[in-house]
């Protein structure tokens, strides 16, 4: 495991532990510790990004939760680009393995400019049965997954299982979610309080 991965895992744990307790009570709760951990993570995730090289192997990590889909494209264990989206109302009713397959479809479409025409993209998923399904014939797959596999026919790729604990970035992106509107409102409220404190001290 690279130094970047160790640091990233450490700071992600700090951020998640510091936000989980208060998020059970409030939808959003960002204090100084949470904001510092978040900014540190953001800096690490962006500063370690590398430029895409069409001659180097491509690895895509995908993950899914009941809240959304996440993906990261990597080369030489360094991120090139990130992608995420929330689930629609109908998608929220999908089975876990269907969500993981949907995450692959989302990732391949999102990173199309990087991977279209590439001879073999490696996709990491933390759902082991999905590896077996994707390596079988189309007719052997469940109906809903068949439709997703058809959407992937234009790409050359191999799906391999990798434990979620080893997919640090994708796992981090799906581990903690919140309502964006409430987050923005809460951050604005915190900023107003900070401004008031500064003015009163004067």
pLDDT in tens, 117-150: 999 899 999 889 999 999 888 888 989 999 999 9
Q: Is this prediction's pTM over 0.85?
A: no
Same domain for 154 and 57: yes
64 and 115 inside one domain? yes
Same domain, 95 and 44: no
Residues 104/159, Cβ–Cβ less than 8 Å: yes
43, 57: one domain? no
pLDDT surpasses 60 at 172: yes
Q: Are residue 84 and residue 126 in the same domain, yes or no?
A: yes
Report which listed range, 16-25, 66-75, 96-105, 184-193, is most confident.
96-105
C-beta of residue 81 within 8 angstroms of C-beta of residue 73? yes
* E strand spans, 19-108: 59-64, 68-75, 78-86
Same domain, 36 and 66: no
Could you tell me the maximum CA-CA distance found in the chain, to the nearest angstrom? 72
pLDDT of residue 102: 96
User: What tens digit of pLDDT does each residue of 20-49 get?
Assistant: 444 444 445 567 877 887 788 777 766 666
Query: Looking at residue 99, which CATH number applies to its domain?
Result: 3.30.420.10
Q: Is 76 left (phi over 0), alpha (psi -120 to 50) or beta?
A: left
Domain that holds residue 85: 53-162
Cα separations in angstroms, 130 against 101, 124, 141, 172? 7, 10, 10, 21
Bridge partners (DSSP) of residue 85 are 69
- pLDDT mean across residues, the chain: 75
- Tell me the mean pLDDT in the region 65-76: 89
């Amino acid at each position: 495991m690279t130094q970047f991965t160790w640091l990233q895992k450490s700071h992600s744990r700090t951020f998640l532990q510091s936000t989980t307790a208060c998020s059970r009570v409030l939808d959003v709760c960002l204090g100084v510790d949470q904001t510092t951990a978040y900014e540190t993570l953001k800096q690490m995730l962006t500063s370690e990004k590398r430029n895409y090289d069409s001659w180097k192997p491509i690895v895509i990590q995908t993950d899914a939760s009941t809240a959304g889909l996440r993906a990261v494209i990597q080369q030489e264990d360094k991120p090139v680009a990130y992608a995420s989206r929330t689930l629609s109302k109908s998608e929220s009713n999908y089975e876990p393995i269907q969500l993981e397959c949907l995450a692959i479809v989302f990732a391949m479409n999102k990173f199309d400019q990087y991977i279209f025409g590439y001879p073999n993209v490696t996709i990491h998923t933390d759902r082991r049965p999905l590896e077996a399904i994707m390596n079988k014939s189309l007719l052997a797959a469940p109906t809903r997954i068949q439709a997703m596999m058809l959407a992937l026919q234009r790409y050359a790729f191999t799906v391999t299982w990798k434990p979620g604990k080893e997919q640090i970035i994708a796992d981090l992106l799906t581990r903690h979610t919140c309502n964006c509107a409430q987050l923005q409102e809460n951050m604005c409220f915190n900023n107003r309080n900070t401004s008031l404190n500064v003015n009163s001290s004067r």
